[in-house]
Amino acid sequence: MQPAASATTKASAKPPGPRSKRSLFRRRNILLGLAILAVATGVYWWQSGGTSGGDAASDVLTTAIDRGNIEDNVTAVGNLQPRDYVDVGTQVSGQLRKVHVEIGQQVNQGDLLAEIDPTVYQTRVEADRAQLENLGAQLTQREAELALAQQQYKRQKNLLAENATSEDTFQNAEKTLRAAEAAVKAVNAQIRQTNSTLRGDEANLGFTKIYAPMSGTVVSQNAKQGQTLNANQSAPIILRIADLSVMTVTTQVSEADVSRLRIGMPAYFTTLGRPDRRWRGTLAKINPTPEVVNNVVLYNALYDVENTGGELMTQMTAQTFFVVAAAENVIRVPVAAFQRPPMRTPGAAGGPQQAGGQPQTGAQGGTPPAGANGERRPRDGAAPAGAPPADAGARERPRMVQVLKADGTVEDRRIMIGVSDRVNAEVVSGLAEGDQVVVGRKPSAGQLKAQQQQQQQNMQRMRPPGML
């Protein structure tokens, strides 16, 4: 019996054959494949959110719908100038003898501002007056000669009637009378001419004293005391007086935005020194002729603002905002939550489909097609009769968003928006305050790793040479 047991033990200790090894490897490969399949299934289940109704809440970035103010505006940069101002110059040439005001001084209409040396103009006035006295004396002489000629003519006329004088003597008396009358007329004409010259010279003498044509503030002075001014070719500017109570904002609006402006729309601006303060006005004028700066077409838009506190000064930079449309205390959704509309399917019956399976209303339906920005356009591109200017910020437009539901699923929802800016849009219908909308996707582990590697590479490039 012992030899049999020994034989059995030896037989069981024999190494497995080739067939047994293959079976073991096969079982291991099956188990490994099942494990890989289980991991892949778990990853897929985690990415899909474990449900078939939508995306998982852990895979999306959301934000809550809130209330706030929205303003659709056109921005432009301009500068400030007084609305009412006058450049005070001189109408006569000469040396600027005295300047009676300083920059920043308040002046009233009629105040003496400056004086030009009046010596030359005084001598001209005196010469004209002396000439008038001379002509007055000549007139007296001519009038006496005229009276004598009239008496002689009358005497000769009476004698001729009695045949007591000759015809030749009578004619000489008549000629002397006519010459005396002409001499008196000539002197009177010279007197009128000299009077006219005198009035002009007296006016030039008066122009040597320069008075304020309006009330305001002296904002600049171009000529200095003692400077010689030449008014023969152009009127030299001595100083500028401006009324700073009302300022005009001149802004330059690009040709892409000027079509959105309309006369009478509200506008406001801030300054570099007071970015927290808003000065408000109303658009008054858009100049039709543009300015071209470096091949950029700019149109000047002007509006006035009150400067009661005197904080606004000439040539200040004004960051202007023309309000196209505005809404206060409305439900708003981030623009980042809008979904891109799907591509049109050529030949599809019933028109293209929007996200969420809702058909778009085109020319065949009762609603006009939407424009590139979602605004409603009339059919064939024709504007309706009497329609106001296009105002994209105030029209309702459809948009598609994704909303995160309470059960963690994501659904597509069609909403209507109104006023919008570059960040938010007014919700007219389709969403309620507090709803969670999807604004993006969380990056995957591979994307995070790639971003970290890219940041490390950027840091290495920015590192100075020789640093580790």
Query: Which sign, positive or negative, has the C-alpha torsion 190, 195, 200, 202?
Result: positive
Q: Are strands 424-429 and 112-116 parallel, antiparallel or unpaired?
A: unpaired
Cα separation values, 351 from 358, 369, 450, Å: 10, 11, 41
The greatest distance separating any two alpha carbons of the chain, rounded to the nearest whole angstrom, comes to 214
Spatial separation of the C-alpha atoms in residues 140 and 183, rounded to whole Å:
11
Query: What's the length of the chain?
Result: 468
DSSP labels, 384-417: PTTPPPP-GGGS-EEEEEEEE-TTS-EEEEEEEE
Residue 28 is predicted with a pLDDT of 66
Q: What is the pLDDT of residues 217-258, one digit of tens each?
A: 999 999 898 888 888 867 789 999 999 999 999 999 999 999
Q: Mutual orientation of helices 167-207 and 119-161 as an angle, nearest 10°?
A: 160
402: nearest Cα among 358, 354, 337: 337
Question: Which pLDDT does position 368 carry in this prediction?
Answer: 39
Contacts 24+ apart (CB under 8 A), 221-225: 221/99, 221/102, 221/103, 223/96, 223/99, 224/96, 224/99, 225/96, 225/97, 225/98, 225/99
CA distance 325 to 461: 47
pLDDT lower than 70: segments of the chain:
1-58, 233, 341-394, 444-445, 447-448, 460-468
Buried/exposed code over 347-366 (b: 16+ C-beta within 10 A; e: otherwise): eeeebebbbeeeebbeeeee
Look at strands 424-429 and 410-420 and give their pairing: antiparallel
Burial class (CB in 10 A: 0-12, 13-18, 19+), 226: exposed
* Best CA proximity match to 441, nearest among 58, 43, 44, 52: 58
How many Å apart are CA 78 and CA 300, to the nearest integer?
Answer: 9
Nearest CA to 377 out of 349, 397, 348 is that of 397
Q: Please state, in angstroms and as integers, the Cα–Cα distance from residue 326 to each residue in 68, 267, 400, 418, following that order.
A: 11, 12, 22, 10
How far from each other are the two terminal CA atoms of the chain, in whole angstroms? Answer: 81
Helix (H, G, I), strand (E, B) or coil at 431: coil
Cα 374 to Cα 380: distance, rounded to the nearest angstrom? 16
pLDDT at residue 24 in the model = 62
Q: Count of CB atoms within 10 A of residue 183's CB?
A: 18
DSSP code at position 133 = H
Q: What is the DSSP string of 6-64?
A: HHHHHHHTSPP-HHHHHHHHHHHHHHHHHHHHHHHHHHHHHHTTT-SSS--GGGEEEEE
Residues 262 and 283: their CA atoms lie apart, in Å, by 7
pTM, entire model:
0.61
DSSP string, 271-311: ESS-TT--EEEEEEEE-SS-EEETTEEEEEEEEEEE-TTS-
Q: Kindly calculate the radius of gyration of the chain based on its CA atoms and give it in whole angstroms.
A: 49
CA distance 223 to 240: 11
Contact call for residues 247 and 307 (beta carbons, < 8 A): yes
Task: Please name which of 71, 67, 76 lies closest in space to residue 421, comparing C-alpha atoms.
Answer: 71
The pLDDT score that the predictor gives to residue 20 is 56
Report the topology of domain 118-207. Helix Hairpins (1.10.287)
Q: Which two tokens stand for residue 151?
A: 């008496």
Which letter does DSSP use for residue 223 in this model?
A: S
**Amino acid in the structure at residue 192:** R
Instruction: State residue 132's pLDDT score.
Output: 94
Bridge-based pairing state of the strands 112-116 and 94-99: antiparallel
Residue type, 171: Q
